[in-house]
Amino acid sequence: MAHLGTRRGRVLALPVGLALTASLGFLPVGAASAAPAEDVPAAVASDGPNLSYVVNTEGGRHTAKVRKAIAAAGGTVVASYDAIGVIVVHSKNPAFAETIRAVKGVQSAGSTRTAPLAPVATTEVDEASQPLTAAEARAAAEAAEDGQDPLEPMQWSLPAIKADKAHDITLGSSKVTVAVIDTGVDDTHPDLAPNFDRAASANCVTGKADTTEGSWRPAQGESDHGTHVAGTIAAAKNGVGVTGVAPGVKVSGIKVSNPDGFFYTEAVVCGFMWAADHGVEVTNNSYYVDPWLYNCKNDPDQGALVEALQRATRYAERKGTVNVAAAGNSAHDLAADEITDTTSPNDTTPVDRVVDPSECPDIPTMLPGVVTVSSTGAKDLKASYSNYGLGVVDIAAPGGDRTEYQTPEAPAVNGRILSTTVNGGYNYKAGTSMASPHAAGVVALIKSKHPHATPAMVKALLFAQADDRACTNPYDINGDGAVDAVCEGGKRHNGFYGTGLVDALDAVRW
Ligand SMILES: [Ca+2]
Ligand SMILES: [Ca+2]
Ligand SMILES: [Ca+2]
């Protein structure tokens, strides 16, 4: 995911130019992570870069035995998720992965990163967002009808999925919590504070949950991405600012990105496990797991990351959680035989490689069970940047597009999505990052209506209620005469829109 003016940026929002948003400051775990030298057996090399690993035990068992082997191989256990047999380890032994893979009871093990656990001195400004102007805010307030929050007239995406009509029936249940697994959520925002669920919020950046008050918030200078996502799901209908898709449900923040904006496997595993164990009904995942855009199962490191994440998402689903994820902003056909990935690994030096996405999934979105959401713009067409792919995309939702590509109807003026930002403000962003929370909000409405429905039942309702969207062919979104993507499939299920556009009204009526 290239991002404006920098190679970094894995959160899936689209900046003004075209690339993706994100970019933050830096990483605090370095100091806490180094294994004390005296814990490392003399025979084990400990002079390599300090790296983080996931170790997956066979059948999710044998964790006690494997932990001993980890220590003997010069590893320090950071967290052990015994319910799924995934252990998070730090080690400076360059041969750690190779050594531990040979241990009986270990199914796979891999480094979660290619850069060491050490500070990287970069502070980048998030260039992805467009401001809400004072004139726009005034125009919106004047256009607002009774019962609408003052900025709601700028939120073209709400009527696009009939959320405005749904709100006449219900705002959703406060017994449903959607966890935003992301860059953190600023719960002090006046539009988020009323619906924020602190008990379901944490910081998972190190791979081990920290529930210290406020640990889930973005630090000063860090990305507002998660805060924006949270507002789309459940900004309060309170006479202030914007309205979320499900303004009566609860939203929480599980921070998983480090200050450089990297979403590493151990943090994301922690996020899913923590959400599952704290009664979260829905998770929203608007990112891909770093440092690989695609993770090849036949690579010993990347394969272990896929395995660990699959175990975590499956565990969450078993506990009743519906996992919703952004399809990605590379305009890639995820059902293609080959994709050229030029951005991985993104934490050191990317190398061009050709991958088969069926063997090298984008995680978590392509994991079985996870709802994969493509993005549409204000003209109801696939957004220019949105990934697609028949059999991969499950459903479509508004994530916005360049205003010149898909212009909303007045009084809305910006083709992007307006939502909450840090410091109590509002801004526009576009990306599959913004589409996923629209779908997660609809899932929360379904769960409100059907509190005892299993994740499989909720997903079946989501797909059945979605409004069919036929393929858009030829698709020339930038109008230059050249086709930009080819949609495969029929009216009711295709590569651009999956089973269709999410339907908030059916969600509260069925
Ligand atoms: Ca509001
Ligand atoms: Ca429908
Ligand atoms: Ca074109």
Q: Look at residue 21 and tell me whether its pLDDT is greater than 60.
A: no
**CB half-sphere exposure, 116, CA atoms < 13 A:** 14
In tens, the pLDDT along 28-57 reads: 333 333 334 444 445 688 889 999 999 999
E strand intervals along 5-116: 51-57, 75-81, 86-91, 106-111
433 given a catalytic annotation: yes
In tens, the pLDDT along 197-222 reads: 999 999 999 999 999 999 999 999 99
In tens, the pLDDT along 82-107 reads: 999 999 999 999 999 999 999 999 99
Higher pLDDT, 63 or 352: 352
Higher pLDDT, 487 or 10: 487
Q: pLDDT at position 43, please?
A: 67
Q: pLDDT at position 44, please?
A: 83
Kindly report the length of the chain: 510
Q: pLDDT at position 363, please?
A: 98
Q: What's the rounded Cα separation, in Å, for the pair 226 and 211?
A: 17
- Give 14's pLDDT tier (boundaries 50, 70, 90): low
Q: What's the rounded Cα separation, in Å, for the pair 411 and 141?
A: 10
Mean pLDDT in residue range 240-253: 98
The CA distances from residue 459 to 219, 274, 278, 446, 465, in Å, are 34, 22, 21, 9, 10
CATH 3.30.565.10 at 153-466+473-509, yes or no = no
Q: Look at residue 25 and tell me whether its pLDDT is greater than 50.
A: no
Neighbours of 354 (CB within 10 A): 10
Asked whether the bond before 361 is cis by omega within 30 degrees of 0, the reply is no
Among the bound ligands, the one closest to the CA of 420: 1
Ion ligand 2 — residues with CB < 5 Å: 465, 467, 503, 506
Least confident stretch, 13-17, 175-179, 326-330, 396-400:
13-17
Q: How far is the CA of 258 from the centre of ligand 1 (A)?
A: 29
Map residue 143 onto helix, strand or coil.
helix
Contact 111, 55 (CB under 8 A): no
Q: Look at residue 304 and tell me whether its pLDDT is greater than 90.
A: yes
Q: pLDDT at position 234, please?
A: 98
Q: How far is the CA of 470 from the centre of ligand 3 (A)?
A: 19
Q: pLDDT at position 119, please?
A: 54
- Give 12's pLDDT tier (boundaries 50, 70, 90): confident
CA 341, 345, 347, 349 torsion-angle sign: negative
Q: pLDDT at position 46, please?
A: 83
As a whole number of angstroms, the longest Cα–Cα distance in the chain is 74
Q: Look at residue 232 and tell me whether its pLDDT is greater than 60.
A: yes
Q: How far is the CA of 465 from the centre of ligand 2 (A)?
A: 4
Q: Look at residue 387 and tell me whether its pLDDT is greater than 50.
A: yes
Among candidate residues 433, 438, 448, 506, the one labeled active-site is 433
Q: How far is the CA of 406 from the centre of ligand 3 (A)?
A: 14
Among the bound ligands, the one closest to the CA of 242: 1
Q: How far is the CA of 487 from the centre of ligand 3 (A)?
A: 14
**133-141 LR contacts (CB < 8 Å, sep 24+):** 136/413, 136/414, 137/426, 139/411, 139/413, 140/411
Q: What's the rounded Cα separation, in Å, for the pair 486 and 468?
A: 18
**Average per-residue pLDDT in the chain?**
91
Q: Of 353, 335, 337, whose CA–CA distance to 345 is shortest?
A: 353
Contact 418, 426 (CB under 8 A): yes
Q: Look at residue 123 and tell me whether its pLDDT is greater than 50.
A: no
Q: What's the rounded Cα separation, in Å, for the pair 199 and 250?
A: 11
Q: pLDDT at position 11, please?
A: 75
Mean pLDDT in residue range 336-351: 96
Q: What's the rounded Cα separation, in Å, for the pair 63 and 69?
A: 10
Least confident stretch, 11-15, 26-30, 466-470:
26-30
Helices and strands, counts by H and E, the chain: 12, 16
Distance separating the N- and C-terminal Cα atoms of the chain:
38
Q: Look at residue 354 and tell me whether its pLDDT is greater than 60.
A: yes
Ion ligand 1 — residues with CB < 5 Å: 149, 191, 235-236, 238, 240-241
Q: How far is the CA of 276 from the centre of ligand 1 (A)?
A: 28
- Give 4's pLDDT tier (boundaries 50, 70, 90): very low
Q: pLDDT at position 366, please?
A: 98
Q: How far is the CA of 485 from the centre of ligand 3 (A)?
A: 8
Residue 505's H or E segment, with its range, is helix 504-509
Residue-range domain boundaries for the chain: 153-466+473-509
Region of residue 400 (phi > 0: left; psi between -120 and 50: alpha; otherwise: beta): left
The CA distances from residue 293 to 20, 117, 343, in Å, are 13, 20, 7
Q: Look at residue 8 and tell me whether its pLDDT is greater than 90.
A: no
Listed in sequence order, the DSSP H helices in 215-354 are: 225-234, 265-277, 300-318
182 given a catalytic annotation: yes
Burial class for 32, CB neighbours closer than 10 Å (0-12, 13-18, 19+): exposed
- Give 393's pLDDT tier (boundaries 50, 70, 90): very high
Among the bound ligands, the one closest to the CA of 464: 2
Q: pLDDT at position 70, please?
A: 98
